[in-house]
Structure 1
């Protein structure tokens, strides 16, 4: 049941991105897309991210098309990462690669988002 709710939230976030072209990316959209990744990132979800998590990572990549969007997504990801004291840095850094997504946005608590192009 919980997975279904998370999937619905992720889908709604993606729909919201496409329904409002030209709007800035919100942290709510980024957070909703990455909610399925929390168990993997905190070490409670096994050695691989779930398909729902990887779909969320791909959705964030699709949201971040401009430099401003990339920096905005980065700030949202950084803030979200800092909310989880048990976040595993190695899992966060490997997340895009494990999902087969090449991201310009690092998943990190310490990244300087202003340096992203």
Structure 2
């Protein structure tokens, strides 16, 4: 339990250092936030870790404008396509499992230009 709390705090610290007010979202930021989710997304676990959910919340926080939502979407899509063993059902359920209402679909085939 203590290790989980430390991991969540570490994710928040990394994301807060990376995200600066008024700057565009980068794939490096999105990737860093979602790295703890890879195990769950590739089928190694029934639920996402607290660090993973903290990362999902961080991505939501980064993507406030339409441009940032589209950029985050493109990053998530590119990351999903890098993992051949990514489980689509796990990816699509990730925001719900983390209790986060996302404006960005987690999908390999989403058209990010249609996100408002």
> For residue 41 of structure 1, what is the aligned residue in structure 2?
41
Structure 1 length normalisation: TM-score? 0.89
Q: Report how many residues are paired.
A: 112
Distance 2:16 2:77 in 1: 20
**What stretches of structure 2 of length at least 5 have no aligned partner?**
none
Q: Which runs of 5+ in 1 are unaligned?
A: none
Q: How far 1:9 sits from its partner (Å)?
A: 5.5
For normalisation by structure 2, the TM-score amounts to 0.90
**1:80-108 Cα deviation digits (max 9, x unpaired):** 00000000000000000000000000111
Q: 1:36 to 1:42 in 2, by over 3 A?
A: same
How many Å separate the matches in 1 of 2:101 and 2:11? Answer: 23
RMSD over equivalenced CA pairs, Å: 1.7
CA contact (8 A) 2:34 2:55 kept: yes
Q: Distance in 2 between matches of 1:110 and 1:41?
A: 16
Matched with 1:50 is 49
| 2:18 equivalent to 1:16 | yes
Task: Check the 8 A contact 2:77/2:110 in 1, yes or no.
Answer: yes
Quote the Cα distance in structure 1 between the aligned partners of 2:13 and 2:50.
13
> What do the CA deviations read for 1:31-67 (whole angstroms, capped 9, x no partner)?
00000000000001x1100000000000000000000
Aligned pairs for 1:1-117 within 5 A: 8=10, 11-17=13-19, 20-44=20-44, 46-117=45-116
